[in-house]
């Protein structure tokens, strides 16, 4: 008998349930939960895993209780939300998505895994793969944005980065793909609200990132808090057992979200903890995170015949298998002993700066005032986010320390030692006070340029942070209007965890940068872009609406029977606003200017097994070296089921010297043009397919060619 069989045979029912019980540590608590006596629970085998408990000594202390003092000596599994860095904090995921660079996505996850495992952590609740098309939803900040293909690329890169080549290695962190699934589609963008999407949308948009995570070997998956058409995800047997386990062959661990098993009662599908536990376990949820329902309810559920011992055993086996794969049985103290803190800190800092500046999106640049001329003598740095180092960490900062974060003020001062930089906050992020505005205005009098740092606080996005108003909070608009009224050149740095609807600002400011929450190196990253040390390359992974009334808004819409046509009454629009976004998906300016030409598809007559070579010429027509980002979209204009106007199939980048011209080529397998057919199988229908390439999803900037598919 193998180790797991031997253990299972020796376990009491209480010890089995203990393996399925995850408890929140007293170190940090992220939601409602009960703690009980953790140490006693570990000793008696009633707790199999902990979350929010980190630090090599702290972890080894509890691990010792499990290994040396519990009857069977099963090691604990230590989990933590290592979302965008652990000690070194990288940009929030939505900002990182702006890179469109899987190699860097993987690198930041690897760095985070190295740091978290040094702190004894073995499991992260990441990557978050929720496609989100509604910026009212605060959790848009935690994910990859609106596109399913991008989310799938991120799923693979992050899973590989966290888990490394060998899950048992001392620096490998088990990944949890979350939140399964369609959480981003909560009704009206309201946190925790119900979701109802078609099976087609589920299969085309929300499930592919999870397929990608499973294909990349994710150790765990977390069902979302929400219900999908009345079936809470925590009890959603058709999707968890049917799709994930049977269709996809996922053999890893399913971990409930925080208290979600108990919340099955609130959802109205379970009368008590016993029924809640039974529903979740039967749906395949192996670990109950903090709700205590498995402990309170599973034995009784067994008596009532609601679950079988075989089902409990299957879950315990999966948990033990994960512990074994992580190498915890062989050496439970491996994580936290590998190398001292501080090793490779500098390298990770550089990575944070590189990823930070690559995440910045130059949204507008009306007058060419950037980069700041090197001879600039005096800058007024105004706004409540200019010296807000803590905010730069964003809503999920793991073990990242606020005092290590570089504010925009500090970053600019370091970059421009000869320049005088005067700073005033003017107003608070959310407060109603306006008495600081006049001093801020006065400070601008002698400045050559004003850098205005506006936006949200970190806590205004993330979990339980939906907003109906996507404008600037507090009195920031009053401050901005006062500054814009001075007639000085004004550059705005917008810190936020979501797109903000600020048409008035985009119209009046000379340049606006989306600077999100960029982590520890935020200030240096912003300074690199402002001074031109780095030429911006970030591209929007979400359409940026003009008005909250337009959401949900996304580029890969289906064609309407009466498509939008300016000035045409009976077309798909609003009476009071055009339907197009403020900035399309993929938008992002550069200090360079690129021209695209000569798009070609080869061959133009194709068969299902072929690969299409798509190429185009890119020319840097500016005097500045820069990086172009090219998006390849496909369209099936006539199909048995209507297909989106554009579907992203590939992204490439090209670095070009002034006046340089280069050719960019994709190899697009014809099978990538298939879609989910009527029976939810991939179908490839003969006929004409369009290929469009551009620097964003803006239809007016796309070059097009076509291929004809014959069977």
Which entry of 257, 288, 292, 528 is annotated as an active-site residue?
A: 257
Q: Least Å distance between CB 30 and ligand BGC?
A: 4
Query: Is 257 assigned a catalytic role?
Result: yes
**Between 21 and 501, CB nearer to ligand BGC:** 21
Q: Least Å distance between CB 207 and ligand BGC?
A: 19
Q: Least Å distance between CB 139 and ligand BGC?
A: 8
For residues 446 to 475, the per-residue mask of contacts with ligand BGC, x marking binding by CB under 6 A and - elsewhere, is -----------------x------------
The residue within the footprint of ligand BGC, chosen from 90, 105, 125, 666 (CB under 6 A), is 125
Side-chain-facing half-sphere of 114: CA atoms under 13 Å: 18
**Between 81 and 275, CB nearer to ligand BGC:** 81
**Between 30 and 622, CB nearer to ligand BGC:** 30
Closest CA to 338 of 323, 346, 327: 327
**Between 261 and 302, CB nearer to ligand BGC:** 261
In the bound state, the residue with its beta carbon closest to ligand BGC is 125
Asked if 171 is part of the footprint of ligand BGC (rule: CB under 6 A), the reply reads: no
The residue within the footprint of ligand BGC, chosen from 4, 14, 30, 478 (CB under 6 A), is 30
The runs of H, that is alpha helices, within 532-621 are: none
Asked if 137 is part of the footprint of ligand BGC (rule: CB under 6 A), the reply reads: no
- β-partners of residue 221 are 177, 254
Asked if 257 is part of the footprint of ligand BGC (rule: CB under 6 A), the reply reads: yes
Asked if 258 is part of the footprint of ligand BGC (rule: CB under 6 A), the reply reads: yes
For residues 175 to 194, the per-residue mask of contacts with ligand BGC, x marking binding by CB under 6 A and - elsewhere, is ---x----------------
CA distance 389 to 239: 42
Strand pairing of 21-24 and 49-51?
parallel
Query: Could you tell me if 190 and 467 are in contact, meaning their C-beta atoms sit under 8 angstroms apart?
Result: no
Spatial CB neighbours of 192, under 8 Å, sequence gap ≥ 6: 186, 225, 226, 464
Query: Could you tell me if 540 and 98 are in contact, meaning their C-beta atoms sit under 8 angstroms apart?
Result: yes
The residue within the footprint of ligand BGC, chosen from 5, 27, 31, 574 (CB under 6 A), is 31
CB atoms < 10 A from the CB of 485, how many?
10
Please state, in angstroms and as integers, the Cα–Cα distance from residue 242 to each residue in 131, 239, 342, 711, following that order.
21, 5, 45, 32
Is residue 597 exposed (0-12), middle (13-18) or buried (19+ Cβ within 10 Å)? exposed
CA distance 139 to 369: 34
Q: Least Å distance between CB 570 and ligand BGC?
A: 43
**Between 54 and 258, CB nearer to ligand BGC:** 258
Closest CA to 184 of 256, 131, 239, 145: 131
What spatial distance separates the first Cα and last Cα of the chain, rounded to whole Å? 52
DSSP label of 559: P
Closest CA to 398 of 156, 618, 108: 108
**Between 125 and 210, CB nearer to ligand BGC:** 125
Q: Least Å distance between CB 575 and ligand BGC?
A: 38
Q: Least Å distance between CB 239 and ligand BGC?
A: 18
User: Which parts of 64-93 interact with ligand BGC (CB under 6 A)?
Assistant: 81
CA distance 623 to 593: 9
Helix (H, G, I), strand (E, B) or coil at 481: helix
**Between 259 and 629, CB nearer to ligand BGC:** 259
**Between 136 and 178, CB nearer to ligand BGC:** 178
Asked if 682 is part of the footprint of ligand BGC (rule: CB under 6 A), the reply reads: no
Q: Least Å distance between CB 248 and ligand BGC?
A: 21
In DSSP notation, 48-71 reads -EEES--SHHHHHHHHHIIIIISS
User: Which parts of 480-509 interact with ligand BGC (CB under 6 A)?
Assistant: none
Q: Least Å distance between CB 238 and ligand BGC?
A: 22
How many residues touch ligand BGC under the rule CB under 6 A: the total is: 9
3-state secondary structure 89-157: ECCCHHHHHCCCCHHHHHHHHHHHHHHHHHCCCCEECCCECCCCCCCCCHHHHHCCCCCHHHHHHHHHH
Active site residues: 257
Using CB under 6 A, list all residues that contact ligand BGC: 30-31, 51, 81, 125, 178, 257-258, 463
């Amino acid at each position: 008998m193998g180790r797991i069989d031997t253990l299972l045979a020796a376990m009491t029912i209480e010890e089995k349930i203990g393996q399925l019980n995850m408890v929140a540590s007293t170190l940090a608590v992220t939601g409602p939960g009960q703690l009980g006596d953790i140490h006693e629970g570990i000793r008696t085998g009633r707790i199999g895993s902990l979350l929010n408990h980190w630090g090599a000594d702290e972890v080894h202390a509890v691990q010792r209780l499990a290994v040396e003092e519990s009857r069977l000596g099963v090691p604990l599994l230590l989990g933590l939300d290592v979302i965008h860095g652990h000690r070194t904090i990288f940009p929030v995921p939505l900002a990182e998505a702006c890179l469109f660079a899987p190699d860097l996505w993987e690198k930041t996850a690897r760095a985070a895994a190295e740091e978290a495992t040094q702190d004894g952590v073995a499991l992260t609740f990441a990557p978050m793969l929720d496609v989100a098309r509604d910026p009212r939803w605060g959790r848009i900040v935690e994910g990859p944005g609106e596109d399913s293909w991008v989310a799938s690329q991120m799923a693979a890169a992050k899973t590989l980065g966290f888990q490394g080549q060998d899950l048992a290695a001392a620096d490998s962190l088990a990944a949890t793909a979350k939140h399964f699934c369609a959480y981003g589609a909560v009704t009206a963008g309201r946190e925790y609200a119900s979701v109802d999407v078609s099976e087609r949308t589920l299969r085309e948009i929300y499930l592919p990132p999870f397929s990608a995570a499973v294909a990349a070997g994710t150790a765990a998956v977390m069902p979302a808090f929400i219900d999908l058409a009345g079936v809470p995800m925590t009890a959603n047997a058709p999707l968890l057992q049917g799709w994930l386990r049977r269709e996809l062959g996922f053999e890893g661990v399913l971990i409930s979200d925080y208290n979600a098993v108990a919340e099955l009662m609130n959802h109205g599908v379970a009368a008590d903890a016993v029924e809640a536990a039974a529903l979740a376990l039967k749906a395949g949820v192996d670990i109950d995170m903090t709700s205590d329902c498995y402990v309170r309810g599973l034995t009784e559920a067994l008596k009532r015949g609601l679950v079988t011992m075989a089902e409990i055993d299957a879950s315990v086996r999966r948990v033990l298998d994960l512990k074994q794969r992580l190498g915890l049985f062989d050496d439970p103290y491996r994580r936290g002993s590998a190398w001292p803190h501080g090793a490779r800190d500098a390298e990770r800092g550089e990575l944070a700066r590189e990823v930070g500046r690559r995440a910045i999106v130059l949204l507008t640049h009306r007058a060419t005032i950037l980069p700041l001329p090197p001879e600039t003598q005096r800058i007024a740095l105004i706004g409540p986010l200019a010296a807000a180092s803590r905010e730069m960490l964003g809503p999920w900062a793991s073990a990242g320390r606020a005092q290590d974060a570089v504010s925009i003020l500090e970053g600019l001062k370091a970059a421009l030692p000869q320049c005088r930089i005067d700073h005033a906050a003017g107003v608070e992020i959310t407060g109603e006070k306006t008495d600081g505005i006049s001093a801020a205005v006065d400070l601008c009098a002698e400045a050559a340029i004003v850098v205005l740092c506006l936006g949200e606080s970190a806590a205004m996005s993330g979990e339980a942070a939906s907003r109906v108003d996507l404008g600037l909070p507090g009195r920031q608009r009053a401050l901005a209007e006062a500054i814009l009224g001075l007639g000085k050149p004004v550059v705005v740095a917008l810190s936020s965890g979501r797109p903000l609807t600020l048409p008035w600002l985009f119209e009046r400011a000379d340049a606006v940068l989306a600077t999100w929450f960029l982590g520890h190196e935020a200030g240096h990253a912003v300074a690199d872009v402002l001074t031109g040390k780095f030429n911006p390359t970030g591209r929007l992974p979400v359409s940026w609406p003009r008005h909250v009334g337009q959401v949900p808004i996304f580029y890969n819409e289906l064609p309407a029977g009466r498509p939008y046509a300016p000035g045409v009454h009976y077309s798909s629009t609003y009476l009071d606003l055009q339907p197009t976004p403020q900035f399309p998906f993929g938008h992002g300016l550069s200090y360079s200017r690129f021209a695209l030409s000569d798009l070609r598809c080869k061959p133009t007559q194709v068969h299902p097994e072929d690969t299409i070579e798509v190429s185009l010429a890119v020319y840097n027509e500016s005097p500045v070296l820069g990086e172009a980002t090219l998006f390849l979209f496909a369209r099936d204009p006539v199909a048995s089921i209507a297909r989106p106007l554009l579907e992203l199939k590939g992204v490439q980048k090209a670095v070009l010297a002034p006046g340089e011209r280069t050719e960019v080529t994709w190899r697009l397998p014809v099978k990538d043009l298939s879609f989910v057919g009527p029976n939810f199988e991939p179908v490839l229908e003969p006929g004409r397919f369009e290929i469009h390439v551009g620097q964003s999803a803006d239809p007016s900037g796309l070059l097009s060619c076509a291929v004809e598919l014959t069977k």
